[in-house]
């Protein structure tokens, strides 16, 4: 039987549910074995294909979550490992990728929007609405005041140089495309990402 490791886990999961491992060729001993083995925790988890967030090898990963996706159940990531079917990493991960679970659940993951007022020595929690309204106000005032519609020669240049942006090289291409649209529609030129480094 030609089985990938993923297939094996799926199949054993399904087989355990029916208390039979005969599909795997374990024969009559399968049922006894199945009863003796504590159900593998990942067989109850939802498996999601993703890509390691670090370097550009882009290792395939499998993320395992508890929670069946029901509306009121919050899913929780319990395990991350290399995708054995991936043609580049073939299931392996490096010391960074192996610890992805710890970055997802880092104690310094940010939970709420915060604001630091001029001269203050602390952050204060604020609502999303308040933060985004304030940011838009600051940006519009700056743009209206400092936008350069024409240069000294009278050429239309339509640029805004007093506010700039750094985009994220770990964000998706879809995020980056939307970010490009927004930043350039404002006329931003002070605009870069980690590719500059």
Of residues 91 through 120, those in contact with another protein by CB under 8 A are 92-100, 102-104, 106-120
How far apart, in whole angstroms, are the C-alpha atoms of residue 161 and residue 190?
6
Name the DSSP class of 110: -
Q: Which of 57, 70, 72, 81 binds another protein (CB under 8 A)?
A: 57
Q: How far is the CB of 37 from another protein (least distance, A)?
A: 26
How far apart, in whole angstroms, are the C-alpha atoms of residue 90 and residue 51?
13
Does the protein bind another protein through residue 71 (CB under 8 A)?
no
Q: How far is the CB of 22 from another protein (least distance, A)?
A: 29
Candidates 12-20, 23-31, 32-40, 187-195: pick the segment binding another protein (CB under 8 A): 187-195
Q: How far is the CB of 15 from another protein (least distance, A)?
A: 24
Task: Find the binding residues for another protein in span 110-169 (CB under 8 A).
Answer: 110-121, 123, 128, 131-140, 142-144, 146-147, 149, 151, 153, 155-169
User: If DSSP codes are grouped into helix, strand and coil, which group holds residue 93?
Assistant: coil
Q: Is 122 exposed, middle or buried (0-12, 13-18, 19+ CB in 10 A)?
A: exposed
Q: How far is the CB of 36 from another protein (least distance, A)?
A: 31
Q: How far is the CB of 83 from another protein (least distance, A)?
A: 9
CB crowding 90-100: b at 16 or more within 10 Å, else e: ebebeeebeeb
Distance of CA 61 to the CA centre of its chain: 12
CB 153 within 8 A of CB 124: no
Name the DSSP class of 133: H
What x/- string results for residues 4 through 43 when contact with another protein is judged by CB under 8 A?
Answer: ----------------------------------------
Name the DSSP class of 44: G
């Amino acid at each position: 039987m030609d089985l990938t490791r993923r297939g094996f886990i799926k199949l054993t999961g399904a087989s355990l549910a029916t208390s039979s491992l005969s599909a795997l060729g374990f024969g009559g001993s399968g049922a006894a074995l199945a009863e003796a083995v504590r159900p593998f925790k990942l067989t109850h988890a939802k498996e999601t294909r993703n890509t390691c967030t670090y370097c550009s090898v882009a290792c395939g990963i499998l993320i395992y979550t508890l929670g069946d996706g029901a509306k009121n159940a919050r899913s929780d990531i319990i395990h991350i490992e290399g995708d054995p079917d991936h043609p580049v990493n073939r299931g392996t991960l490096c010391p960074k990728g192996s610890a992805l679970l710890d970055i997802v659940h880092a104690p310094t993951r940010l939970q709420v929007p915060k604001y630091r007022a001029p001269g203050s020595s602390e952050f204060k929690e604020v609502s999303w609405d308040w933060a985004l309204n304030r940011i838009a106000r600051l940006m519009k005032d700056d743009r209206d005041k400092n936008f350069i519609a024409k240069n000294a020669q009278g050429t239309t240049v339509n640029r805004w140089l007093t506010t700039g942006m750094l985009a994220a090289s770990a964000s998706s291409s879809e995020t980056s495309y939307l970010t490009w649209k927004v930043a350039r529609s404002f006329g931003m030129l002070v605009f870069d990402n980690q590719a500059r480094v």
